[in-house]
Amino acid sequence: MPVATTSPEETQRHDLKSLDGAFVELRSMTYGEWLHRRDMATKMAIEGDPRKRDSKVTIDAIQTETTLYEFSKCIVNHNLTDAQDKQLNLGERKDFSQLHPKIGEEISGYIGEMNIWESEQEELFTE
């Protein structure tokens, strides 16, 4: 029968273009993790009485929390260090916050490529 689960052993290695000699090894999220990430991506709060003109809908994008969650779930291995040659734990806020933006964006892009399906890409494009 076809296996319908993700396997932590199935990973993809990416040599980073933004830093010579650097790599990350990533795994796909499970469906449950992916749904949780999607729930985190947009936080919606309705303030006031929706039947009155003064009501307000606020949508807060939680990019930092979502990306930190993605890094904690998807990064299996890497060789990225801080200035003291200590390996970064990119699932922890302290180390995650120190990461160079170009490197973080590149890793985030690879995670996105592994976890976005064509139907979701089409949906995002049409919104």
pLDDT of res. 127:
46
Phi, psi of 76 (to 5 degrees): -95, -40
Could you report the per-residue pLDDT of 81-102, keeping only the tens digit for each?
A: 999 999 999 999 999 999 999 9
DSSP letter assigned to residue 88: P
Could you report the per-residue pLDDT of 24-59, keeping only the tens digit for each?
A: 999 999 999 988 988 887 776 666 666 766 666 666
Could you report the per-residue pLDDT of 54-88, keeping only the tens digit for each?
A: 666 666 668 888 999 999 999 999 999 999 999 99
Map out the domains of the chain as residue ranges.
Answer: 11-117
Contacts of 70 (CB under 8 A, 6+ apart): 29, 37, 108, 111, 115
pLDDT of res. 119:
54
